[in-house]
Amino acid sequence: MIRQLRFFSIFIALTIAFLSDISAQVHLSTSNKEENQEPVQVSFGGYTIARVNGTTSNDSKAKTDMSLRLVRVYVDSKIGDFAMKLQMQVNGNTSGLNGPRIVDAWAEWQRWKGFRIKAGQFKRPFTFENPMHPWLIGRGTYSQLAERLAGFSDRTGEHASNGRDIGIQIQGDLLSSSYDRHAWFHYQGGVFTGQGINFSDKNSRKDLIGGVWISPIKELQIGAFGWTGNHVLNDTTTIERRRFSVGAKYSGDWTARVEYAVDNAAGKADAVYAIIGTPSWRRTKLFAHYDLYREGKNSAGSHAIYGLSLQHMPHPDLMVQANYGYNVDKTKADERYHNMDIQLYWRF
């Protein structure tokens, strides 16, 4: 509880600092225009995802529950060549690490498209899916690949970090097309603590994570990502990470995404997923998806999900989504079961 109160205090203090800086900048720009102060751009926002879900299996009764999947608020600001973000998740269990917490706190120098520097707490540059907003995933949750191998509920036992860590990253877009100005090539790479969000480093080693992709047409990206490092668990056990991922993403009227990732350390594991979405019809879109994770890289540790998702957006800031998944989980005694949920998304 003390940890959560400390996170709240930090968030409130930083928000006050942002507002104080804005006030000072506005005062200076109006009282001393000849100094040519850089304008300050600030936006506040947030979003909520509420969920009702049910699970049925052969050896137990149907189970249902209702929950708030995510409630987040954020402050974005831009001063000259610098962009900053502060985002907090305000729902969760206040007695544990999954309660209210800071998820993003970073600043990025964006002078050039071909070379940008970001520092703070932000998404790890691993896989196409990890940095995607929950509204754009196309299903009710991230894939098992992202969950287990990109740092959401990581297989190392790291606390839930939503695919984020503390570090420094460079990235850029190169070789623009003369036809539509999209970048043919993107690179990104960084140095991270390996301990996840809101935790300080516990050893002298750092995680190195990065990726590159090419974009032969504006809607298509084909890329590869790598991750080497470790995580210190409970201050005593060090678990290695040696991960690699390849994939492709298409974003047009039709949408599609496919990725494969492998971790060749800590007993090994791999995962693959594929998702395809139809063109939107009357603000309604249908997705079909396949999702497989294999602990130990064998069938005995596998969990496969065959699913469909239907989403409707009556307003750009409101979405309703229904999800169905048929599960074959070889790690459970009753390995075959169904999962269904309805989620309501809204943002402000």
In CATH, what number is assigned to the domain containing residue 206?
2.40.160.10
User: What are the residues facing 263 on neighbouring strands?
Assistant: 243, 269
The per-residue pLDDT for 34 is 44
C-alpha to C-alpha distances, 348 to 6, 133, 232, 316, nearest whole angstrom:
26, 15, 38, 10
Give 98: exposed, middle or buried? Use CB within 10 Å, 0-12, 13-18, 19+.
middle
Does residue 6 fall inside a structural domain?
Answer: no
- Structural domain boundaries, residue 56: 48-65+113-347
Q: In 182-216, which positions are buried (b, 16+ CB within 10 angstroms) versus exposed (e)?
A: bbeebbbbbbbbbbbbbbeebeeebbebbbebebe
Q: Which tokens sit at 92? A: 């969760």
Does residue 90 fall inside a structural domain?
Answer: no
d(CA 203, CA 238): 9
Phi-psi domain of 133 (left: phi exceeds 0; alpha: psi -120 through 50; beta: other) = beta
Does residue 158 fall inside a structural domain?
Answer: yes
Cα torsion 263, 264, 265, 269: sign: positive
Does residue 41 fall inside a structural domain?
Answer: no
Does residue 317 fall inside a structural domain?
Answer: yes
- Tally of residues, the chain: 348
Does residue 224 fall inside a structural domain?
Answer: yes
d(CA 140, CA 48): 13
> Could you give the 3-state DSSP secondary structure of residue 78?
strand
The per-residue pLDDT for 31 is 44
Torsion of CA 260, 264, 268, 270, to 10 degrees: 0
Does residue 39 fall inside a structural domain?
Answer: no
User: Is the distance from CB of 144 to CB of 154 less than 8 angstroms?
Assistant: no
User: What are the residues facing 41 on neighbouring strands?
Assistant: 78
* Amino acid occupying residue 288: A
C-alpha to C-alpha distances, 155 to 70, 78, 190, 240, 306, nearest whole angstrom:
22, 36, 21, 11, 22
The per-residue pLDDT for 100 is 87
Residues contacting residue 195 through CB under 8 Å, at least 6 positions apart? 158, 165, 166, 201, 202, 231, 232
d(CA 63, CA 85): 39
The per-residue pLDDT for 313 is 96
Does residue 35 fall inside a structural domain?
Answer: no
% helix / strand / coil in the chain, to the nearest 5? 15, 55, 30
User: Is the distance from CB of 302 to CB of 269 less than 8 angstroms?
Assistant: no
Q: What is the pLDDT along the chain (348 residues), one digit of tens a residue?
A: 444 444 444 444 444 444 445 444 444 444 444 456 778 899 999 999 999 999 887 666 778 889 999 999 999 999 999 999 999 999 877 666 777 899 999 999 999 999 999 999 999 999 999 999 999 999 999 999 999 999 999 999 898 899 999 999 999 999 998 889 999 999 999 999 999 999 988 888 899 999 999 999 999 999 999 999 999 988 788 999 999 999 999 999 999 999 999 999 888 999 999 999 999 999 999 999 999 999 999 999 999 999 999 999 999 999 999 999 999 999 988 889 999 999 999 999
d(CA 107, CA 86): 9
d(CA 47, CA 69): 11
The per-residue pLDDT for 23 is 45
The per-residue pLDDT for 25 is 47
Q: How many separate domains does the chain show?
A: 1
* Amino acid occupying residue 66: M
Q: Tokens 């987040």, residue? A: 72
